[in-house]
């Protein structure tokens, strides 16, 4: 086949409307109805109204422990004129839930009764009770049909049976509810370079020759969340005939929906759209969303098919918008929309006009402002979904959103989780990720989200009130000391506390065995040495520039000086991959990836916290964790860290 090309791009709204209108006729979807035992009905969707088989309660019953009486027999009773009721004739002992004896219509609580023998010793104990207050008809009585009446519609179709619905159905005697059969989805992974997870080893992954197939794991879980069941076919190679055979087999297998994963883009080995077109009908190829643009929609063998992009985030977003929506519509479920909140982007977020973009963001409530920090936007960065608190959707007509502009964010995490999150913006350090883990474990309601924009970016974020704390290691070239001079210069008059997090070794990260014999900063100017730098404003960049100035080196002397990464781990990854010969970073990053390390010096990494947050429960908890021996030991074990001063108040301004 020739190289694939996109048909006319379709907006998400148009694609979804076409998809649903074609596959969800007024007569209903393809799903049959079935009955299931109530004990197995949780999570299923009602296909017919559930009507009460019995009234509940089925009799007049006691709502309290006490005695059942005829209300008019108690009239006139008072504290000054108590009444005596004979047990067995005028009053009958009864427990909660038991039916009222014939002729009674009220219950007097046991707490309001006294044995008649206490008033009149001539009355045998246990034969009568005395009351000092009259009751009224139906007091403390659950009347017949109070909850529901037989034949009454209890739950409407389209409702998902949860714990509460199980209780209502059981009380109404509905032991075999009629539900939709679970929609069957067949997932076909494709790609000559992917292998099943069961066949993957760390060594195989490190070779770069194969990729793990895990989209089936994610999409299967999404199918189950939507009330369906998913069958995963074996991986299909990048071969048009094999792809067509797999799709046609799926269409004949009883599938309600076919999901073809990968091969829907415009590469020379992307055949999905063409196969759909040749074997059936291709309705849409290319949707104006990022991630998710290569999505294809159509029908083969009478069965709807989605061609999902291979990149995980693209596949997830496209299936959520189109696959889960279709499964819900077939079952009459309401597609619950996520709650939304107004958030203010920490920084400007540019976007490509003509494409609606789903930007993953972390969120933090700073004073009265909900701050959104964009996460990496690549379609293959699946970890951003597990780290995200929400999606900020940028309209396709827009070129992006400016910093601090109010934007709607659809929430993935609960508001409680977001309210408990501390937002750290500034320099990256591996100890921050460890700190988040310790904080969550010790204080489950709290978490630490960090954005890596360099030390200077963190101080500016503090100045503008866009974070709770900032990590910083800014060197003052004049004194050789860290952080305090920069804070005095850039945050004059701000009341804050400077807390030592770690003393850490900075140095040159090199491949194992140091094949190019790099020994110092001066070596960066040698021919054949390529460098990976940190971004402007980072403390590591300041340290590098200071050392270069001491040596009389200029940026032009270093190949790769302009190539930037935002974290120490990304610098280490660049060296590991061979993209660079070396980069300046912390020893912990080199240790994590099994690389060698040439020390350059020890620096002081601090966190700056505005004084107004001193009494904030989240900050109090964070400092407790930082000062704990368990945290210090865990940081020390990473390698390259000194923790003798960890948790120490270095400076305080009020």
**DSSP string spanning 354-376?**
TSEEEEEEEEEEETTEEEEEEPP
d(CA 392, CA 612): 29
Confidence of residue 596 (pLDDT cuts 50, 70, 90): very high
* Residue 451 pLDDT level (bands cut at 50, 70, 90): confident
Residue 325 has pLDDT above 70, yes or no: yes
pLDDT at 7: 52
**pLDDT at residue 2, as a whole number:** 43
Identify the burial level of 279 via C-beta atoms within 10 angstroms of its C-beta, where 0-12 means exposed, 13-18 middle and 19 or more buried. buried
266's tokens? 């415009």
In angstroms, the CA 523 to CA 530 distance is 10
pLDDT band at 336 (very low <50, low <70, confident <90, very high): low
Residues 6+ apart with CB under 8 A from 273: 4, 7, 264, 282, 285, 296, 307
How much of the chain exceeds pLDDT 70, in percent? Answer: 97
Q: Which residues contact 393 (CB under 8 A, 6 or more apart)?
A: 356, 357, 358, 359, 408, 410
Confidence bin at 56 (pLDDT 50/70/90): confident
| Residue 321 DSSP symbol | I
pLDDT > 90 in the chain, percent: 79
Domains assigned to the chain: 12-27+182-330 (3.40.980.10), 33-57+146-180 (3.90.105.10), 61-142 (2.170.190.11), 342-456 (2.40.340.10), 466-652 (3.40.190.10)
* pLDDT 10s digits, 459-486: 999 999 999 999 999 988 888 889 999 9
Contacts of 312 (CB under 8 A, 6+ apart): 214, 215, 218, 379, 380, 382, 385
Whole-prediction pTM: 0.82
């Amino acid at each position: 086949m020739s190289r694939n090309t996109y048909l006319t791009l379709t907006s998400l709204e148009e694609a979804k409307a076409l998809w649903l209108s074609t596959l969800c006729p007024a007569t209903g979807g393809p799903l049959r109805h079935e009955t299931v035992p109530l004990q197995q009905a949780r999570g299923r969707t009602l296909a017919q109204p559930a009507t009460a088989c019995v009234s509940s309660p089925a009799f007049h019953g006691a709502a309290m422990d006490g005695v059942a009486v005829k209300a008019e027999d108690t009239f006139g009773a008072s504290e000054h004129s108590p009444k005596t009721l004979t047990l067995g004739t005028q009053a009958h002992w009864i427990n909660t839930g038991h039916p009222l004896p014939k002729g009674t219509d009220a219950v007097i609580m046991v707490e309001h009764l006294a044995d008649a023998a206490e008033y009149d010793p001539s009355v045998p104990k246990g034969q009568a009770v005395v009351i000092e207050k009259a009751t009224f008809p139906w007091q403390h009585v659950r009347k017949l049909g109070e909850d529901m009446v037989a034949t009454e519609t209890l739950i409407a179709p389209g409702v998902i049976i949860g714990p509460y619905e199980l209780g209502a159905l059981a009380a109404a005697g509905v032991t075999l509810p009629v539900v939709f059969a679970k929609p069957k989805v067949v997932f076909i992974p494709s790609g000559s370079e992917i292998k099943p997870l069961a066949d993957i080893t760390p060594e195989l992954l490190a070779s770069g020759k194969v990729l793990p197939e895990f989209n089936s794991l994610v999409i299967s879980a999404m199918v189950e969340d939507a009330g369906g069941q998913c069958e995963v076919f074996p991986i299909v190679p990048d071969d048009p005939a094999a792809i067509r055979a797999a799709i046609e087999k799926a269409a004949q297998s009883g599938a309600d929906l076919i999901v073809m994963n990968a091969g829907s883009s415009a590469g020379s080995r992307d055949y999905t759209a063409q196969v759909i077109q040749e074997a059936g009908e291709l309705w849409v190829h290319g949707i104006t969303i990022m991630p998710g643009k290569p999505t294809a929609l159509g029908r083969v063998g009478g069965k709807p098919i989605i061609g999902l992009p291979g990149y995980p985030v693209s596949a997830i977003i496209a299936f959520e918008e189109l696959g889960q929506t279709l499964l819900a519509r077939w079952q009459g479920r309401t597609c619950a929309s996520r709650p939304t909140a107004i958030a203010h982007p920490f920084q400007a977020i540019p976007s490509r006009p003509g494409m609606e973009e789903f930007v993953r963001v972390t969120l933090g409530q700073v004073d009265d402002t909900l701050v959104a920090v964009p996460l990496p936007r690549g379609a293959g960065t699946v970890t951003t979904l597990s780290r995200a608190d929400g999606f900020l959707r940028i309209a396709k007509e827009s070129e992006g959103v400016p910093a601090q502009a109010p934007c709607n964010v659809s929430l993935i995490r609960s508001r409680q989780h977001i309210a408990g999150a501390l937002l750290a913006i500034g320099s990256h350090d591996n100890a921050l990720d460890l700190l988040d883990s310790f904080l969550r474990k010790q204080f489950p309601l709290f978490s630490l989200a960090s954005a890596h924009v360099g030390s200077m970016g963190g101080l500016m974020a503090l100045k503008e009130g866009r974070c709770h704390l900032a990590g910083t290691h800014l060197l003052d070239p004049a004194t050789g000391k860290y952080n305090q001079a920069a804070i005095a210069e850039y945050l004059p008059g701000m009341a804050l506390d400077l807390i030592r997090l770690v003393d850490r070794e900075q140095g040159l990260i090199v491949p194992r065995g140091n094949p190019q014999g790099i020994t110092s900063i001066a070596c960066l100017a040698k021919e054949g040495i390529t460098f990976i730098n940190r971004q402007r404003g980072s403390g590591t960049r300041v340290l590098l520039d200071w050392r270069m100035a001491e040596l009389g080196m200029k940026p032009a002397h270093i190949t790769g000086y302009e190539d930037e990464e935002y974290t120490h781990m990304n610098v280490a990854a660049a060296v590991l991959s061979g993209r660079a010969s070396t980069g300046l970073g912390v020893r912990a990053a080199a240790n994590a990836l099994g690389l060698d390390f040439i020390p350059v010096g020890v620096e002081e990494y601090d966190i700056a916290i505005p004084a107004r947050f001193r009494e904030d429960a989240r900050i109090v908890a964070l400092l407790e964790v930082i000062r704990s021996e368990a945290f210090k030991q865990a940081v020390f074990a990473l390698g390259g860290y000194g923790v003798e001063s960890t948790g120490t108040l270095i400076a305080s301004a009020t």
